[in-house]
Each structure stands twice: as C-alpha cells, then as structure tokens.
Structure 1
Amino acid sequence: MDRDGYVWWYVDALSADGRQGLTIIAFIGSVFSPYYAWDPTRDPFDHCAVNVVLYGERANRFCMTERGRASLTRDADHIAIGPSGLSWDGTTLTIRIDEVTAPIPKRVRGTVRLRPGGITPGPHHLDAAGQHRWWPMAPSSPVEVALTEPDLNWRGTAYFDTNHGDTSLEAAFRDWTWCRADLQAGAAILYDVHRRDGSRQDLTLCFTADGTPRDIDPPPRAELPATRVWRMPRQTRSDDGRADIVRTFEDTPFYARSQLSTTLRGEAVRPMHESLSLRRYANPLVRLMLPFRMPRRVG
C-alpha cells in the first residue's frame, strides 16, 4: 500500500428487535485520523485502528484507539490490530473485540460472528480514475453478538463491506450518503457520492441473501432534516421520494448516522443511513477536536 492509501473492513449489525446496534471498522491507513493527516510520511501502516461503536437502550459506547505498525499482524484470512482482530474460515467472519472508550475509559470486549450466505460480485469504483474501490461483500447476513463487557448477547442481521484506496478521501470526494436496508429476501443499498470535480455517482444495488444481484430501479431523492446539533445535511432516496428519521445515533461535525423509515423495492423498511462531509472533516478545527475521542498508542 502506497503513501496516502487505506483499506478498511466494515461491519454494521442490528438486533432482531431493532433495539441494539453495533458498528465495527478495522482500518489500515485510518482515513478519519488527524494523526494520519498530520503525519508527513503518510505511512498507512503506521495508522491502524479498530473502531467499535455500540448503540442501544442498554449500552452506548465509542472506541477508536489508533496504533502503529508494530501492533499490526495480517495474512490472507486474518488481521489483528492491537488486542482486536478479524478472521475468516471460509464460512464465518469472527471478530474478537478488546477495546477501551475515550475520554472516559470503559472496556468493550467480546466476540461477533457473521455468517454470509454468499459473496456479491465486486468491487465498484467510486471515482472516475478508479483509485477508490468499494465492495459490499455480504449485504445481509445472520450475526451473533456475545459481549462480556458490557454484558450483551443478541442476534440479528449484519452488513459487511470493504473499501480500499490510493489517495485520501478528502482529495477525491466532497461528501457522500450511504443507506442499506434489509429486505424480505436480501438487501438494498444506496450509495450516492459527490466528487471533488463536481461529478456524481449514485449507486442503487439490490442482492438476494446469497449475494446474487437483483434488478432495482433507481428511486427518487428524499429530503431529510439536518441533524439537531451540528446541522449535518442528510438526504436519501426512496420509492415515493419520502423518508422519516426514526433515530439519530451519531451527530458529529462531519458525520451523521441515523435509522430511517421509508420504502424500497415496494417494502416498508428501516434502513441504516450515513452522511459524511469530507469538506467538514478537512477543516483544521474539526481535526483538532478528534483526539478527544481518538487517542493514539504506539507500540
């Protein structure tokens, strides 16, 4: 991986009753790290992290400790960053978590197991030059979450993708929105990218549970209200051009995460939705705020 490059693996899970949520992102070249942005060497292997976020009625926790290259080990079916890691045995993705929140330290420890019914075709290029690639490998799969700290055990469905790129995100994109919904027989994904050169790419994808692509017409745009605190813009698409906010999980200066109520492919759905502003992230004042929740450890 070259200077400014990155790769990340992303899991987004929701319990069957919709009350508990979990996001895990393992980074090499931590794209939202101020330390990576400030490092003159721009060495991605010296900026690795496992981001773990819990949402729900019983626990809300955020962990993202950045580590150097000495904390990284990897091979064809395994990656470990510090005490946490992901492994693939051909049928199950097993994620072992051992992280600590900041600024108030609380431990998040346990195991997540994701069992995809199949793998989708991919990847998809997000920019015209092909320097940024996204692969929604398993859009909807059974998941088991077993945490000891905090004490949480639940089952539901999960989404798994990977992104890799050759330049920084802010060098290529202004902003994007991403939305994924479980359907009765698979999942739908909307990924709308606004590039730095003013062009757009709006992806509308649908897959069966085994990863087979399904036909889906691109739905019209649906406006959403900005977030309450940081006024992050939000937008999505739906069958009838309408959508409502059910819950806002993250309201930050450059990122918002929400659950929606809308319709896709003729089904009433409760999608997970993300809005990201790379213009806001690139603001020096925003970057100065990030170490408050994203400490760095070397060694």
Structure 2
Amino acid sequence: MARGGYVWWYVDALSDDGRNGLTIIAFIGSVFSPYYVWDARQDPFAHCAINVVLYGADKRFAMTERNARSLARDAASIAIGPSSLRWDGSVLTIHLDERSAPIPRALRGTVRVRPQAITAQPFTLDSQGLHRWWPMAPSCEVEAAFTAPDLAWRGSGYLDTNDGDGRLEDAFTDWTWCRASMKRGSAILYDVRRKDGSSQNLTLRFDGDGRRREMPAPLAAALPRTNFWKMPRSTRSDDGQARVVETFEDTPFYARSLLASTLDGEQVRPVHESLSLGRFRHPAVQFMLPFRMPRRIA
C-alpha cells in the first residue's frame, strides 16, 4: 500500500421498524485520523481502526486507532484489535468489542450482513485513478445483536469499499453521497469535487441481483446545514426537493443524515453523508479529534 494510502470497508443499516441504525467502518490507513496526518512516515498500517456508531435511543460512537501489531488479515478476514470481520462467501460476520469515546462505555456485539448480490465493478473517483470506490452490495439483509448495549434488531443495509494511493484531502475538497433502498434494488448518488476544480456526479441504480440499470440523473436539491456545526449538505432528487428526516451525526467536518426524497419515480429514505476535507484539515478540528478517536499502542 502506498504512503498515505488507505483501504476501508463500510457497512450501514437501518432496522425494519426505523428505530435503530448503525455504521461500521474498518480502516487500514485511517483517513480521518489526526495521528495519520501527523505521521511523517505516512505508513497506513500504523493507523488502523474500526469505527462503530449506533443510532437510536442508546447512541454510541467508538473509534480507537491501533498500530500494525494489532492488525491480522487474510483473504477472507481482517481483525483490528479485539474486533474482526470475516467473509464466508455469503455472509459478512462482524464481531465488535470496542469502547466508546469520549464517554467510555463498552460497545460489544455481532452484526451479520447478507448481500443479495455482488456488483460487477469499482468506480474511479479522481482524474488520475488513485482513488477507487466499489459499491459491492447495495442491497443487504442485516442482523444486529449487541450485549452492550442490550439491543437486537433486523433490517436492511449496504456494503462498499474504498481504497486509494494517497491522502483524500490531496485529491478532493468535499463530497456528498447517499444510498436508498428501492422496491427493486437500490439507488446511489456520489458527487465529488476535486482539488483541481473538476467534479464527478455518479448516478447509479442496481437491481436486487446486482445488475446495473439506467436511471435518469436527478436534479440538485438543497438541504439545510446541520444545527450545531453548520456542516453544508446537499443532494439530488427527481424534483429538486428533499428534506432531512433525522441527523445521525453532526461533526465539524462530517454529517450523516436520513433524508426523504424522490429517486427514479419512488419516494425513498436515503442514508446521506456530507464530507468537507477542508474542514477536516483545519488545526482546530485536528486538535479536537483525539478526544473522539483515542490511539492505543498494543
């Protein structure tokens, strides 16, 4: 892996009753780590982490960074500290044993992700081909069973992976992304703005069997900034309108939200994220991040 490079695997899911949700991201080369920014060697294997966020009545956030001695991996699995992900050909099983921050509480459980199908190809996000994204399984069944907190639910989810040969903030200024479950499969919008002034707007639609189908490009739709950190948000929809149902995460450089909009003729509830890499590099943000992202040397 290149200096400053990274790979991550991303899962999000919402419960069938709409009361709970989660995001899990396993990083080699933790791209949002202040320690990685400060590391003159830019060694991705020295900066590994599993980020877990629970949404609902008992919201929790955990992201402990660890070094290469805490990493173990093979063709079917990856373990970072006490947590792990394993793929058996049909199910991704995620065992979690983390501790939240800044309030230290246990976050333990097992999440099983069953993709309906695997898509055919990754997509390049930058003009030089250094940053790649593969929406591997846009439609998944998810089972979550936690012992800390005491919580169990079933729902629908999404699985993708990103990898790159350099730092994100060297290639991009910001992006917005959203994914929505449809009556047949899923829709994904991914809009990136690059540091060279160019941009890319991806409009993707996948059937339940993973095959891509045509979808008209939606219109730009404005969204309000987040309440606390005033993070800018925007999306696209058929009629150029969308609303925020709930803000899951409101941070200085990142926001995750649940929207209501219309895509490809269907009323949907997309999971949406907005990222500002300019904000991420601000010295004040770098100073605050260790309080949410502690580093443990194993």
The answer, yes or no, to whether TM exceeds 0.5 is: yes
5 Å-filtered alignment, 1:84-95, equals 84-95=83-94
Q: Which runs of 5+ in 1 are unaligned?
A: none
Q: Partner residue of 1:298?
A: 297
The aligned amino acid for 2:56 is G
The answer (yes or no) to whether the contact 1:55–1:61 under 8 Å persists in 2 is yes
1:104 matches 2:100: no
Structure 1 stretches of 4+ with a deviation exceeding 2 A read none
Calculate percent identity across the aligned residue pairs: 66
After TM superposition, give the deviation of residue 210 of structure 1 in Å.
1.8
CA distance in 1 between partners of 2:203 and 2:18 (Å) = 24
The one-character-per-residue Cα deviations of 1:81-115 (angstroms, maximum 9, x if unpaired) are: 00001000001000000000012111111100011
Length-normalised TM-score, structure 2 = 0.99
The answer (yes or no) to whether the contact 1:176–1:193 under 8 Å persists in 2 is yes
CA distance in 1 between partners of 2:135 and 2:240 (Å) = 24
After TM superposition, give the deviation of residue 228 of structure 1 in Å.
1.0
After TM superposition, give the deviation of residue 229 of structure 1 in Å.
1.0
After TM superposition, give the deviation of residue 249 of structure 1 in Å.
1.0
Q: Partner residue of 1:167?
A: 166
1:239 matches 2:254: no
CA distance in 1 between partners of 2:240 and 2:204 (Å) = 17
Q: Partner residue of 1:258?
A: 257
Q: Which runs of 5+ in 2 are unaligned?
A: none
After TM superposition, give the deviation of residue 230 of structure 1 in Å.
1.0
The aligned amino acid for 1:222 is A
Q: Partner residue of 2:7?
A: 7
The answer (yes or no) to whether the contact 2:49–2:64 under 8 Å persists in 1 is yes
After TM superposition, give the deviation of residue 281 of structure 1 in Å.
0.4
5 Å-filtered alignment, 1:81-230, equals 81-230=80-229
Aligned length: 298
After TM superposition, give the deviation of residue 290 of structure 1 in Å.
0.1
The answer (yes or no) to whether the contact 2:117–2:139 under 8 Å persists in 1 is no
CA distance in 2 between partners of 1:279 and 1:92 (Å) = 37
Question: Matched residue of 2:212: which SS?
Answer: coil
RMSD (Å), alpha carbons: 0.6
The aligned amino acid for 1:37 is V
CA distance in 1 between partners of 2:277 and 2:173 (Å) = 5
1:48 matches 2:51: no
Length-normalised TM-score, structure 1 = 0.99
Question: Matched residue of 1:158: which SS?
Answer: strand
The aligned amino acid for 1:127 is D
After TM superposition, give the deviation of residue 185 of structure 1 in Å.
1.2
